[in-house]
């Protein structure tokens, strides 16, 4: 994988925070899965882009790869109906995309 484990863990932490914030907006998150995904992915992208690590040409490429991992994670959480902080683990799980 191109991104370091530290970068993937940081991105997952941010994605989890944004995902849970987006899920809290919807009364029934499972019925608004697509909007939830879009909102969480965009908020995660915005926060990661603020990091100076991703402000160069190479950083932009790394960010694009990292965002694919983030999208897979969020899709997995939605498919598994994980919509609360107690359901979405804080640490990487072996079954999650990007775990190494």
Domain ranges of the chain: 5-79
pLDDT of residue 78: 94
pLDDT of residue 64: 92
Residues of the chain with pLDDT under 70: 1-2, 97-100
Predicted structure pTM score: 0.88
Q: Are 39 and 25 in contact (CB under 8 A)?
A: yes
pLDDT tens-digit readout, 79-99: 999 999 898 888 877 777 666
pLDDT of residue 53: 86
CA distance 63 to 36: 21
């Amino acid at each position: 994988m191109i991104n370091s484990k530290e970068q993937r863990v940081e991105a997952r932490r941010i994605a989890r925070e944004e995902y849970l914030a987006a899920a809290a907006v919807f009364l029934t998150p499972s019925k608004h899965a697509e909007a939830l995904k879009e909102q969480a992915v965009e908020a995660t992208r915005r926060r990661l882009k603020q990091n100076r690590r991703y402000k160069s040409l190479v950083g932009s490429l790394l960010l694009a790869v990292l965002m694919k991992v983030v999208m897979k994670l969020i899709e997995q959480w939605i498919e598994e109906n994980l919509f609360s902080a107690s359901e979405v683990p804080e640490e990487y799980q072996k079954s999650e995309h990007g775990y190494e």
